[in-house]
Amino acid sequence: MYKTILFPVDLEHPSSWKTALPVATEMAQTFSATLHLVAVVPDVGMSIVSSYLPEGFEKKAIAAAGEKLAAFAADNLPDGVAHECHVAHGVVRHEIVAAADKINCDLIVMAPHRPEMSDFLISPSTEFVVSNTKRSVLVVR
């Protein structure tokens, strides 16, 4: 049923993926699907902000995120799960939707929020993804 599954990963907050990752991997195994892990490096934004950062900061951050994501996959995915790692750069919610379109995924699996965000039933990023993609989205509580 599903051949391409997108799983956004916040590498800095394990609590944002711990519950959803087992569901994503089980679905990938069940359907012999490829699991696409995507991590998003936030855009620094205005030039006034970037002027305080060392030259090449964003490129180094993207490269470091790629290394962390590969290590994450090696440490957390069961053997035999076909997967690919992607690093995006920009506004998290927009980049998740763009990644889904780019890889033409059948399904996006994600958590509703980080547990630390106890005031929210669903995060603004998750709400945006659910509302702005034509893909099926499984929000794992």
CA-based end-to-end distance of the chain: 22
Tally the domains of the chain. 1
Question: Does residue 125 carry a pLDDT above 70?
Answer: yes
Question: Does residue 111 carry a pLDDT above 70?
Answer: yes
Domain CATH for 21: 3.40.50.620
Average per-residue pLDDT for the chain: 88
Angle between helices 124-132 and 92-103 (to 10 degrees): 30
The domain in which residue 75 lies consists of: 4-139
Share above pLDDT 70 across residues of the chain, in percent, rounded to a whole number: 88
Q: What is the pTM of this model?
A: 0.88
Element (H, E) at 16: none
Question: Does residue 119 carry a pLDDT above 50?
Answer: no
Question: Does residue 121 carry a pLDDT above 60?
Answer: no
Token match 């669903």: residue?
A: 122
Q: Give the strands of the sheet with 34-42, arranged side by side.
A: 83-90, 34-42, 4-8, 107-110, 136-139
